[in-house]
Amino acid sequence: MQQSDSSAIIALRGWHPAIARAEAKSMFPDSNLSRTDSRRLLIADGESDWNNADLMSGCECVLVGGGIAKWKSIEDLLELIPSDAVNDMAVECWRHEGKIPVATKDIERQIGGLFHDKGSTFNLENPTKRFGVVLDNSAGNVAWGWMIGKGPGKHGWSAMRANKRPFFRPVSLEPRLARAAVNIAAGTSDGFVVDPMCGTGGILIEAALTKRQTLGIDFDPVMIDGTKQNLEWAGVNAEVRRDDATRFELPENLAAVVVDPPYGRNSQGDEKLLEDMLANIRRQNNQCDLVVILPTMAGGEDLDEEISTDIVLPGFNIEAAFGIPVHKSLGRTLIIASASTQG
């Protein structure tokens, strides 16, 4: 059945749909998002700033002025698409989760013909407007609408990988995970994104690339120097200083804290450092939104759903947790938390 009362359809990337849904919730706060039976398509009711799709690692695009329906045939799809004369447009069709038995080029050609017959003009190289169609085989759905955002395909994440930077450590976060963590924590809020254990600066780079005010803290002067090299390599600016994560002063205008704490041989020491850092944050700001990414044993991942966790963050309420595969012996857990109202 066609969904005609929605403001938009959000098409997610496939690397971690569960995290992408959390990212969309933060970046489109004025919309009520609901899941469909397609794992990578959301329905949005209420208008948000859809241009935030360009800032997200988990969103292909937002489709506006369209809908979603079960796939039947091209002819049925054409009857659902309202068409008027549009200048400088293009049609793009792509697939999610396998193949619905129809050629994407046929869909593009016939929808293009529909708009052509109404007097539209086309620009296949650099169109002003793009009409998108997603064939989602996970539930046999088709979604369509005018595209806001980059669309499907690769968009430079590999070029930004940590091992391409001048200063690298093997435990550095993948950039698209760092970007999602920043967006989930800070959403559309003004103010600083703070990483109190910034390491090689991956979280800072992604926060700064989204034009947020950004502050990084680390106790190790080698990490501070390396982070500054990486920020220069990425072409972004952020405030970076050597300080103690358990004592440093938070900026007054704080949007969120995002942290991927160091971990190594001394797990008890690492745990105490994390607790003291959280206590320092909690003392200064009891409204703080927080995303923490922690190492875990492999095997607890789920790309489609939140996971349960027995991790405790003193002074904070855990709102959601997501499992992330790294390799056969290591996973990560992304935790969304807010300051506890207790004590």
Query: What are the extents of the domains in the chain?
Result: 8-148, 158-339
Query: pLDDT digits over 51-86, tens only?
Result: 999 999 999 999 999 999 999 999 999 999 999 999
The reported pLDDT for the residue numbered 5 is 54
Confidence tier at 6 by pLDDT (50, 70, 90): confident
Q: Which residues contact 40 (CB under 8 A, 6 or more apart)?
A: 11, 12, 13, 14, 17, 20, 96, 97, 136, 138
Which residue's entry shows tokens 């809020």? 189
Answer yes or no: is pLDDT of 266 > 50.
no
CA dist., res. 246 & res. 276, Å (int): 5
Q: Is the pLDDT of residue 19 over 70?
A: yes
- The mean per-residue pLDDT over the stretch 108-113 comes to 98
Residue among 90, 160, 161, 154 at smallest CA distance from 120 = 90
315 DSSP assignment: T
Q: Of 218, 215, 185, nearest to 338 (Cα)?
A: 185
Helix (H) or strand (E) run with residue 204 in it: helix 202-209
Window from 167-171, 212-216, 269-273, 314-318 with minimum mean pLDDT: 269-273
What pLDDT is attached to residue 154? 75
Poorest-pLDDT segment among 44-48, 160-164, 204-208: 160-164
DSSP state of 249: P
Q: For 17, left (φ over 0), alpha (ψ -120 to 50), or beta?
A: alpha
Please tell me the predicted confidence (pLDDT) of residue 269.
61
**Pairwise CA distance, residues 41 & 142, whole Å:** 10
Q: What is the mean pLDDT of residues 9-15?
A: 97
Enter the DSSP assignment of 29: T
> Hey, what CATH topology would domain 158-339 get?
Rossmann fold (3.40.50)
Sign of the dihedral through C-alpha 229, 19, 51, 116: positive
Query: CA-CA distance, 177 to 206, in Å (whole number)?
Result: 9
Which DSSP state fits 97? S
Among 5-9, 34-38, 281-285, whose mean pLDDT is lowest? 5-9
Across 315-334, average pLDDT: 93
Task: Provide the CATH topology of domain 8-148.
Answer: VC0802-like (3.30.2130)
Give the mean pLDDT of the chain.
94
Alpha-carbon distance of 180 to 152, in angstroms, equals 17
- CA 55 vs. chain centroid, Å, equals 8
Measure the CA–CA gap between 73 and 76, rounded to whole angstroms: 5
Backbone angles phi, psi at 70, to 5 degrees: -70, 140
Does residue 20 surpass a pLDDT of 70?
Answer: yes
Residue 264 has pLDDT above 90, yes or no: no
What pLDDT, on the 0 to 100 scale, is given for residue 268?
55
The stretch 117-123 carries a mean pLDDT of 98
> How confident is the model over 188-207, as a mean pLDDT?
97
* Stretch among 83-87, 168-172, 261-265, 304-308 having the lowest mean pLDDT: 261-265
**Banded pLDDT at 298 (limits 50, 70, 90):** confident
User: In the prediction, which pLDDT does 341 show?
Assistant: 76
Model confidence, pTM: 0.95
Provide φ and ψ at 36, rounded to 5°.
-110, -175
